[in-house]
């Protein structure tokens, strides 16, 4: 069982290196150490934390329980709100309850899935984990939220898409179980970003055109130069801050980052399939949790996706899912084909890879040390400055919807702005609402 954190280790390492305040440095170090301990911990699936709730079986709604770690590190902590209980005076408790509920509702109402396992699994969360803990994670059985370091990150329960991201790691665990390494790991990450964003869009009733397509827009503290942890609309533009570094995500295979850090760049190269989903949703219009979400959901849950699927495998599986759902000549199939071509995963005939497959010997992730992290950030920046296709800067008005008919798959003309026009995110947009 793998523990999935929302903030990747290279980002916390960068923060630790650049923080002037020794107390802050200690918080980042401690957050990293917690994360390393959890990563190394044996399977958490045998824990009986939620036993009092587990025998009730599926019901007509979600089954949630929120615990309070009271700034300690014992899990799951004290039960402070169970399903049907009224709101408490603790906003963080209520946000965890509401975020898990919104995620449950999206999976149930859009795709007919009852909870993470499809069988009404209890949605268990712990809030106020440790002091200054700058992360949130899914440990294989439950969600855990930190209150943030107070400088860069605030309360991690604030963004529904963060909660949705982590719970979707659970859905993937119960379905395609994509290996958390290299391209299959980046797909695992991307699927969590996609359904995390869909949970927020569904909760808000937003169309694809109206959605912000950001992950973690509400967890940055004021003063951070950035809008979120990641952007599906414009990967690589979510933040650019002297303390955080610059968002290293590529939006196109030409910017693919080869690295052994971060499990082979799972939080970095996920920008490519993320952007493909965004393009499909925008081409189809309406709600992204409609046809586009259904195609991705069926791909994830069909049982036909390999645990070691590459981007090309996944692209072809989404094409097959769209054909099954909507027919070979449908606009949905056309949109999926065009999107994967635009991000450079498929060539324009939609059947041939545009890049060689991954090496047959999968890269093994090394424990990410500082030097490696620096190398990673440098590689990411190099890729961004030379290899990625033009993309819109943040904060420009939403681009006009792509027409429903397939566009000529030419990434060079898909976005009118050049990288030279890339403007830095402004502090004022750091995401609280």
Name the residues that contact Zn ion, by CB under 5 A.
4, 189, 192
Q: Using an 8 Å Cβ cutoff, are 240 and 425 in contact?
A: yes
By DSSP bridging, strand 136-138 and strand 245-246 are: unpaired
Cβ atoms of 269 and 140 closer than 8 Å = no
Q: Angle at CA 101, nearest 5°, toward 145 and 184? A: 65
Element (H, E) at 23: helix 22-40
Distance, in Å, from the CA atom of 423 to the CA atom of 48, rounded to the nearest integer, reads 50
Structure tokens at 414: 């898909």
Integer CA distances (angstroms), 250 to 82, 288, 381, in order: 41, 22, 10
| Distance of closest approach, residue 187 Cβ to Zn ion, in angstroms | 11
Vertex 409 angle, CA 406 and 415, to 5°: 100
Tally of CB atoms within 10 A around 15: 26
- 267 is known as an active-site residue: yes
Backbone region of residue 17 per phi and psi (left: phi > 0; alpha: psi in -120 to 50; beta: other values): alpha
Q: Shortest gap between Cβ of 156 and Zn ion (angstroms)?
A: 13
In the three-class reduction of DSSP (H, G, I as helix; E, B as strand; rest coil), residue 226 is classed as strand
Catalytic choice (4, 5, 252, 267): 267
**Of 16 and 189, which CB lies nearer to Zn ion in the complex structure?**
189
CB of 189 to Zn ion, least distance (A): 5
Q: Give min distance, CB of 426 to Zn ion, in A.
A: 27
Q: Which is nearer to Zn ion, 194 or 295 (CB)?
A: 194
Provide, rounded to whole angstroms, the least separation between the CB of residue 67 and Zn ion. Answer: 21
**φ, ψ at 81 (rounded to 5°):** -155, 125
- 36/79 with CB nearer Zn ion: 36
Residue 271 vs 392, nearer CB to Zn ion: 271
**Active-site pick, 166, 181, 189, 372:** 166
Instruction: In angstroms, give the least distance from the CB of 137 to Zn ion.
Output: 8
User: Is the separation of the CB atoms in 132 and 25 below 8 Å?
Assistant: no
Rg (CA), the chain: 20
Q: Is 257 in contact with 272 (CB distance < 8 Å)?
A: no
- The question of whether 166 is a catalytic residue gets the answer yes
How far apart are CB 177 and Zn ion at their closest, in Å? Answer: 14
CB distance 276 to 252 below 8 Å: no
379-389: burial string, b at 16+ Cβ within 10 Å, e else: bbeebbeeebb
- Measured from the CB atom, the residue of 4 and 81 that comes closer to Zn ion is 4
Strand order in the sheet with 64-68: 4-5, 136-138, 143-145, 123-127, 64-68, 78-82
Pick between residue 3 and residue 65 the one whose CB is nearest to Zn ion.
3
Smallest distance from Zn ion to CB 163, Å: 12
Our CB check for Zn ion shows the closer of 228 and 335 to be 228
Nearer to Zn ion, 63 or 200 (CB): 200
The secondary structure element, H or E, covering residue 124 is strand 123-127
Catalytic residue numbers, as ranges: 166, 267
């Amino acid at each position: 069982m793998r523990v999935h954190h929302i903030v990747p280790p290279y980002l916390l390492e960068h923060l630790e290196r650049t923080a002037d305040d020794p107390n802050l440095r200690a918080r980042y170090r401690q957050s990293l150490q917690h994360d390393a301990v959890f990563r190394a911990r044996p399977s958490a699936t045998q824990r009986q934390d939620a036993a009092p709730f587990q025998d009730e079986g599926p019901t007509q709604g979600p089954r949630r329980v929120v615990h309070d770690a009271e700034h300690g590190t014992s899990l799951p902590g004290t039960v402070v709100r169970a399903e049907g209980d009224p709101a408490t005076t603790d906003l963080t408790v209520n946000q965890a309850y509401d975020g898990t509920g919104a995620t449950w509702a999206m999976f149930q109402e859009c795709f007919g899935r009852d909870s993470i396992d499809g069988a009404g699994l209890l949605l268990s969360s712990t809030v106020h984990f440790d002091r200054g803990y700058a992360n949130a994670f899914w440990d294989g059985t439950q969600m855990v939220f930190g209150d943030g370091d107070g400088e860069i990150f605030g309360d991690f329960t604030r963004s529904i898409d963060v909660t949705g991201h982590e719970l979707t790691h659970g859905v993937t665990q119960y379905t395609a179980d994509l290996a958390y390494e290299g391209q299959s790991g980046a797909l695992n990450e991307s699927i969590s970003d996609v359904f995390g964003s869909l949970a927020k869009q569904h909760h808000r009733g937003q169309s694809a055109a109206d959605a912000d397509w950001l992950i973690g827009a509400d967890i940055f503290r004021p003063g951070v130069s950035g809008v979120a942890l990641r952007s599906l609309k414009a990967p690589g533009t979510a933040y650019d801050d002297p303390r955080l570094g610059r968002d290293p995500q590529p939006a196109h295979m030409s910017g693919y980052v080869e690295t052994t850090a971060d499990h082979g760049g799972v939080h970095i190269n996920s920008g490519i399939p993320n952007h493909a989903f965004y393009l499909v949703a925008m081409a189809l219009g309406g709600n992204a949790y409609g046809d586009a979400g259904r195609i991705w959901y069926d791909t994830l849950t069909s049982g036909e996706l390999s645990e070691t699927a590459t981007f090309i495998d996944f692209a072809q599986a989404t094409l097959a899912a769209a054909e099954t759902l909507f027919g070979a000549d449908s606009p949905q199939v056309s949109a999926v084909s065009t999107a994967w071509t635009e991000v450079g995963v498929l060539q324009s005939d939609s059947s041939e890879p545009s890049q060689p497959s991954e090496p047959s010997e999968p890269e093994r992730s090394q424990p990410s040390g500082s030097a490696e992290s620096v190398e990673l950030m440098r590689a990411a920046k190099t890729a961004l400055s030379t290899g990625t296709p033009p993309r819109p800067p943040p904060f420009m008005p939403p681009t006009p919807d792509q027409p429903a008919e397939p566009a000529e798959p030419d990434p060079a003309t898909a976005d009118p702005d050049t990288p030279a026009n890339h403007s830095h995110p402004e502090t004022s947009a750091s995401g609280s609402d």
